[in-house]
Structure 1
Amino acid sequence: MGLFDFIRSRRVVPAKRAQVPDARPAQAMRAAARAIRSAFEFKAAAGGRLTGGWSATTVPADWIITRNLRPLVARSREQCMNNDYAKSFLRLCRQNIVGQNGVVMKAAFKKPRGGMDAEVNAALRGAWAKWGHKKNASVTGKRSWAAIQRQCVQSAAQDGEFFVRIVTGADAGPWGFSLQVIDPLRVPIDYNVDQYNQKNFIRHGIEFTQYGRPVAYHLTTVDEGEAEYQYGGVGYVRVPADEMIHGFIEDLVGQKRGLPWMATALFRLNHMAGFEDAAIINARVGASKMGFVQWQEGRAPEFDDGDEPGLEFDAEPGTFPVLPDGAELKEWLPQYPAGEFLPVYKTLLRGASAGMGVAYNNLANDLENVNFSSIRQGTLDEREHWKEMQEWLIEDLIQPVFEAWLRYSLLKGRIKAGNGTPLSAALLEKLTDAVTWQPRRWQWIDPTADVEAAINSMNALLASPGQIIRDWGNDPSEVWAEIAADIKAMRDAGIPEQYIMGLLAGKLASPTASEGAHPNS
C-alpha cells in the first residue's frame, strides 16, 4: 500500500452509529391504550387471575342442553325425593299455577244478531266438564283433566318440560279422545341426526324442519312389537308433532328442550342438606356428653389384644362414679352448631328461593319478624310471577288440548245442545275464538281494604264490574246469573222488595208498614 493510499484511508469518515429510538412515546401510547380499555371495559369481561376460572367462551343452546340436561334432571329428581324445600317448591307450583279446580273455561259465543247464545255456551261448557272426568281425560282412566294439569306443571318444575300425547280412537276411553303424559326421559337427549329423510334433522330426540319447526318426536320403547325402527340398539316410536304437546320455558334462543326450574338452586339445596346433616350429627354428639379417660404416665393397665380398652360408667341421679387410680376424665364438648347456623342457612335458602321465583317466607314457612307491609309486597311480587306461569301453561298446554278436543268432538257429534242436536262442525273457528281461560286467583291479605279499593276503582270508571269479578277468579256471567236466581228466589219466597234492594246495596233497610212485617218476624 502506497503513501497516498495510507493518507486516503486515514481520511475516510466512519459511518455514523444508528441512533436508538426513544421508547418513551411507545410506552406512553400503550399506557394510554390500557387506560382507555379499562375505562370502557365491563369488569365482568376483564381477564386476570381473579376471573381465570370464569368461562368466557360462548356456546350454542344445543350444546348447553346436551352437556347439562341429564345431570340436572337426575339431581333435580333426587332433591325432590329427599329435600323438603324442593318438595315445597313443587307444591307451591301446583297450588298457585293450577290450583284446586284447574284452569276454568269461559265460553262467550254470540248469536249472529248479537247477544250471548246461552244454549251453545252451556253445551260447550258441559261437554268440556264431562270430558274432564278421569275416565275420559286420561288414557289410563286414573287422572282427571285438572290432575293432568298439575302433573304437567310438576314435570316442568322438576324435569324442565312436559310431554303429552293425544290419543284418539277406541283405545282412548269412552270419549274417544284422551291424553297420555310421557316421561321426558323417553325422548333421548343424546339422539341427534344431522340428515334425516334427506330434508329434516333430529336434535335431542325431536325431528325438525330446516327452519326449526317440530315434525315428529322419537320416543324410546322396550316393547319390540311397538318399536317402529332400531337405532343404536334402541327401539324407537315416531310420533307426529300434531299428536304431541311439548311444553317448556325457553331460556335461550334456539333452545329445543327445557331445563329444570330449580337448575340454579340445586347447588345450594344440596349443600344446605349436607350442612344441616352435619349440624344435626354434631348436635347429637354434643348432647351425648361424651368424654375421654386419660391415664397418667405409667399408670395405664395392660390390655390383651381381645379386650376392650374403654371404661363404662352407669349414670344415676345423685351419684358420682369413682375413677380407677391413675385415670383422669377429659371432657369433650363440641360447641357447634351455635349462633352461626341460622344466618348461613337462611342466606342459602334466600338465594335458592330467588332462583325459584318464590318468596322466601313461603318456601321456608318462616314468618318470623315479618310485618304487614313486607309480607304484602312480597306476596304481590310472587303472584305476578305465578300469573306469568299461568299464561305459559294456557299457551303451551290448555289451548292446544282444547283445540284438538274441540275439533274431534265436533266431528264426532259429542257436543250437543239442550234439545240433543249436535253442534255443527262449521262452528269450529267461532267456538275456538269464543273461549277464554280463567286461572285461579287468590284472596288478598287485607280483603276489606282491597274490596274498598275495587269499589272506588269501579266508581271512578277505572275498572268494570266484570273485570273486578274476574280478578277474584270468578266468571261475571255466572255471578250475575246467581244473583238473578237469588233475587227471583227471594221474591218467590215473599221477601219484601225493599229488603231485597237493601241487601243488594249492602244495607238492610227496614220494610215499611205497607210492605208487611220483617220476614224474620
Structure 2
Amino acid sequence: MALFDFIRSRAGLPVAARAPAPDARPARAMRAAARAIRSAFSFNAASSDRLNGTIPAALPADWVITRNYRPLVARSREQAMNNDYAKAFLRMCRQNIVGPNGIVMKAAFKKADNTLDADVNAALKDAFEEWGHKLNADVSGGQSWRSMQGAAAVSAGQDGEFFFRIVTGKDAGPWGFALQVIDPLRVPIDYNVDNYNQKNFIRHGIEFNRYGRPLNYHLTTVDDGEAEYQYAGVGYITVPASEMIHGFRRDLVGQKRGLPWMATALFRLRHIIGFEDAAIVNARVGASKMGFIQWKEGQGPQDDEADPDMEIDAEPGAFPVLPDGAEVSPWLPQYPSGEFLPVFKTLLRGATAGMGVAYNNLANDLEGVNFSSIRQGTLDEREHWKELQEWLTEDLVQPVFEAWLKYSLLAGRIKVKGKPLSPVLFADLKKAVSWQPRRWQWIDPSADVAAAVDSKNNLLTTPSRIIREWGGDPNEVFAEYAADIKAMEAAGIDEKYILAAMNQKLVQPVNSQGSHPNS
C-alpha cells in the first residue's frame, strides 16, 4: 500500500483504486535478450567487471600530451643520466640512425641528353659538404651537420622530438645559412589558447590555423631583453613555421608534439636499477659477514647511555673487539641467489620490446644464442632502424637541404667552373637529389654475398641495388672501377691480369665451325 493510500484509509477517505500491476515477463525477456546480445557481440577487453574496472577512458591526443609530456620527459632525461641501459639505447639510436658519416647526399642531375652532368653533381655535393662543417652548419659553431643529425636522433629518443631553427644572414656564420638547436622545453607544452587572433589557436606552444597547419612557434626567451610579448609572466618570441623544423613520430591522430621513445620502458628501467642496486647492496653486506651486537641481560648499556647515532661498519675480514657482555648475532642474507637473473632479464626484455631493439644487443648478452636466432633478431632490428632513417630523412634532412639549396642558389654559393648555378634550377636540383643512410655489414658475408650474386645472375636484382644495400653510391663505385682499370692499363698491366683483378675469366673466342682454336 502506498503512503498516501495508508493516510487516506486512516482518515476515512476513499482510497484511490489501484491500477493492475503490469506483467513483468516482457521486461525480463527484453533484459535477457539484451544480455545475450551483449555477450555475443562484445570484446572481453571492453567488458567492465571487478577484474576490468580500471579501464581508462579514451582521451584526445592533445589531452594525452598535455597530461604526460612533462613527467615523461623529466623521467626520460633522468634515466638517460643514471641508467646504463637508457644511455645505451640513445647511443644505439645515434649509431644506427645516423652512423659515422650521417645521411649522405647523392646527386644525379642530368643534362638535356639524359646523361649525368658530372660537373653539376660534383659542385652540388662539394658545396653541401663544405656547408656541413661545424663553423658553417651550426649557428654557434659547435656542431657539424652530421653531429646535428645525431643530436636530433638522441633528442627524439630522449624527449620524443627535436626542434631546429633556420638562421640566415650575417648572424648565421660564414655561409650565411645555419641551424640553431632548440631545447624542446622552450616550446611550453602548457601554452594553449583556443581563440588566438580571432582565427587561429595555440596548442602546446605552436600556433595553428583551423586545419592544423603550423603557422608560428612561440618560444620562451633565454634573455628577458629579447622577449616580444609576455604571457602569464613569461617572455615569448614568435618564430614563423617556415624558419622552424619540428620532427617527431606520430602515434596518435591529431598529435602535435612527440613523446619519448622510452616512454613505455621507463617504468621497467627504473625498477631494473632499483632491483639491481638492492641486490648489489644485499650481496655486498652478505659477503662482509655482518652481524648484530646483542647484549646479555643485565650487562648492556643503560638507555640514557646508548648512542642513538652508533654506526656499524661491515668490512670483510674485520674482527672487532666486543665489550664485556656483548655477543654477535649472525646475519647472513642469502639474496640474491638464483632468482636474480630471471627477474632481471624479464624486465629488460620488456623494456627492449618497447624501445624496438633486440635484447641481446642492448643488454650485451649473447648467452644461449645461436647463429640463426641472432641473425633473425638482427635483421628485424635493422628494419626498425631503416624505418627511423627514412623518418629522419623526411623530417630533418630533406627540409634542411631544400632551405639550404634555395638560399645557396640565391646567394650564388654553388658554382660550376666558376659560374654560379641559376636559381631557376632549384626544382630540378631538388628532384635530382636522393639520400643514402648508413648500412651495416652482412652477418654472414660469404653466404650473403653468394646470395646477392645469385640474385643478380637470375635478374632478381641489379648491381646498383646491391651496392646501395651495402651503403655505397653506384655511380661512385662504377667511376672507381673505371679509374682503376685506366690506371692499371696506363701502368702496362696485361689485360688478363686486369680481368683477373676484376674477378673475371678470359673467354677464348670460338671459330665459325664452333670448335676451340686450340683444340
SS at match of 2:420: coil
Residue 364 of structure 1: CA displacement?
0.7
Aligned to 2:127: 127
- Name the CA shift for 1:28/1:488 in 2 (closer, same or farther; >3 Å): same
State the partner residue of 2:377.
378
Q: Is the aligned partner of 1:469 residue 2:467?
A: yes
The reply to whether residue 290 of structure 1 matches residue 290 of structure 2 is yes
Change (3 A) 1:229 1:452: same
Q: Are residues 326 and 134 of structure 1, via their aligned partners in 2, closer, same or farther at CA, if it must alter by over 3 Å?
A: closer
Aligned pair in 2 of structure 1 residues 414, 314: CA closer, same or farther (>3 Å)? Answer: closer
Q: CA deviation at 1:335?
A: 1.0
**Aligned 8 A contact 1:102 1:440 in 2:** yes
How many Å apart are 1:18 and its aligned residue? 9.0
What amino acid does structure 1 have at the position aligned with 2:448?
Answer: D
**Is 1:220 aligned to residue 220 of structure 2?**
yes
Quote the offset at 1:23 in angstroms. Answer: 5.1
Give the aligned partner of residue 342 of structure 2.
343
Among 421, 429, 444, the residue aligned to 2:419: 421
* Inter-CA distance 502–291: structure 2 relative to 1 (3 Å threshold): same
Q: Which residue of 1 aligns with 2:204?
A: 204
Give the drift of 1:54. 2.2
- Residue deviations 1:16-39, cap 9 Å, x none? 999877756654553443233223
- 1:330 alignment counterpart: 329
For residues 275-314 of structure 1, give each alpha carbon's deviation from its aligned partner in whole angstroms, at most 9, with x where no partner exists.
111111111221121223444545x345473466999999
Q: Alpha carbons of 1:410 and 1:30: their partners in 2 closer, same or farther (altered >3 Å)?
A: same
1:466 counterpart letter in structure 2: S
In the other structure, the counterpart of 1:254 is 254
Amino acid at match of 1:217: Y
Asked if the contact 1:163–1:246 (Cα under 8 Å) also holds between the matched residues in 2, the reply is yes
SS at the partner of 2:202? strand
Q: Matched residues in 1 for 2:30 and 2:303: separation?
A: 82
Work out whether residues 287 and 316 of structure 2, in 8 Å CA contact, stay in contact via their aligned partners in 1: no
CA distance in 1 between partners of 2:278 and 2:303 (Å): 36
Could you tell me which amino acid in structure 2 is paired with residue 336 of structure 1?
A: Y
Deviation per residue, 1:375-403 (Å, 9 max, x gap): 00000000000000000000000000000
Q: Cα gap change, 1:107/1:38 in structure 2, threshold over 3 Å: closer, same or farther?
A: same
For 2:77 and 2:195, the matched residues in 1 are separated by 33
How far apart are residue 148 of structure 1 and its match? Answer: 0.6
Verify the 8 A CA contact 1:216 1:239 in the aligned structure 2: yes
Give the letter aligned to residue 410 of structure 2.
L
1:67 partner amino acid: R
User: Residues 49-198 of structure 1 correspond to what in structure 2 (within 5 A)?
Assistant: 49-55=50-56, 57-198=57-198
What amino acid is aligned across from residue 211 of structure 1 in structure 2?
Answer: Y
Change (3 A) 1:506 1:89: farther
| 2:428 alignment partner AA | K
The CA distance in 1 between the partners of 2:47 and 2:498, in whole Å, is 74
- 2:45 corresponding residue in structure 1: 44
State whether residues 157 and 261 of structure 2, in contact with CA within 8 Å, keep that contact through their aligned partners in structure 1: yes
Q: How big is the alpha-carbon RMSD for the aligned residues of Structure 1 and Structure 2?
A: 2.6
The C-alpha deviation readout for 1:342-381, integer Å capped at 9, x for no partner, is 1111101000000000111111111111100000000000
The amino acid across from 2:203 in the alignment is: R
Equivalent residue runs for 1:364-513 within 5 Å: 364-417=363-416, 419-505=417-503
**Which amino acid letter does the alignment assign opposite residue 402 of structure 1?**
F
Superposed displacement of residue 199, structure 1: 1.4
Structure 1 residue 125: deviation in Å?
0.6
Q: Is the deviation greater in 190-199 or in 390-399?
A: 190-199
Contact kept in structure 2, 1:81 and 1:87, CA below 8 Å:
yes
Letter in 2 for 1:445: I
Shifted more, 148-157 versus 27-36: the winner is: 27-36
Cα deviation 1:230-265 (Å, max 9, x = unaligned): 111111110001000000001111111000000111
Q: Offset at 1:104? A: 0.4
Could you tell me whether the CA contact under 8 Å between 1:89 and 1:363 is conserved in 2?
yes
| Amino acid across the alignment from 2:196 | Y
TM-score, normalised with respect to structure 1: 0.89
Equivalents in 2 of 1:125, 1:272: separation in Å?
Answer: 47
The answer as to whether partners of 1:188 and 1:205 remain within 8 angstroms in 2 is yes
Residues 439 and 409 (structure 1 numbering): CA distance in 2 closer, same or farther, change over 3 Å? Answer: same
1:508 Cα deviation (Å)? 10
Q: Distance in 2 between matches of 1:325 and 1:66?
A: 65
Q: Distance in 1 between matches of 2:223 and 2:212?
A: 30
Question: Which residue is 2:361 aligned to?
Answer: 362
1:80-131 deviation per Cα after TM superposition (whole angstroms, max 9, x unaligned): 0000000000000000000000000010000012110111101101101111
Contact kept, 8 Å, 1:136 with 1:174, in 2: the verdict is yes
Output the amino acid matched with 1:432: K
What do residues 410-438 of structure 1 show as CA deviations (whole Å, max 9, x unaligned)? 01110011x21111111000000000000
Structure 2: runs of 5 or more not aligned: 1-16, 508-519
Residue 139 of structure 1 contacts residue 171 of structure 1 at CA under 8 Å; is this kept in 2? yes
Which ranges of structure 1 fall in alignment gaps of 5 or more residues?
Answer: 1-15, 510-521
- Separation of aligned partners in 1, 2:180 and 2:130: 18
Q: After alignment, is 474-483 or 31-40 more displaced? A: 31-40
Secondary structure of the structure 2 residue equivalent to 1:449: helix
Residue identity matched to 1:393: L
Matched-pair contact (CA < 8 Å) for 2:288–2:315: no
Instruction: Give 1:193's aligned amino acid.
Output: V
What are the Cα deviations for residues 117-170 of structure 1, in whole angstroms up to 9, with x where unaligned?
Answer: 111101101101111111111001111100010001111111111000000000
Which is greater in Rg? 1
Q: Is the 8 A contact 1:189 1:205 kept in 2?
A: yes
Q: Give secondary structure in 2 for the equivalent of 1:50.
A: coil
CA contact (8 A) 1:313 1:321 kept: no
Superposition deviation, residue 506 in structure 1: 5.2
CA contact (8 A) 2:170 2:176 kept: yes
Closer/same/farther in 2, CA of residues 308 and 407 from structure 1, 3 Å limit: closer
TM-score by length of 2: 0.89
Instruction: Work out whether residues 289 and 316 of structure 2, in 8 Å CA contact, stay in contact via their aligned partners in 1.
Output: no
What letter is aligned with 2:424?
A
State whether residues 167 and 177 of structure 1, in contact with CA within 8 Å, keep that contact through their aligned partners in structure 2. Answer: yes
Q: How far apart, in 1, do the equivalents of 2:82 and 2:250 lie? A: 28
Query: Which runs of structure 2 are paired with 1:261-300 in the superposition (5 Å)?
Result: 261-298=261-298, 300=299
SS in 2 for 1:265: helix
The separation in 1 between residues aligned to 2:283 and 2:252, in whole angstroms, is 45
Distance apart, 1:40 and its partner CA: 2.0
CA distance 1:454–1:315, shift in 2 (3 Å): closer
Mapped to 1, the partners of 2:474 and 2:343 lie a distance apart of 49
Task: Figure out how many residues of one structure are paired with residues of the other and give that number.
Answer: 490
Distance 1:311 1:350 in 2: 40
SS state at 1:171 partner: helix
**What is the distance in 1 between the residues matched to 2:313 and 2:127?**
76
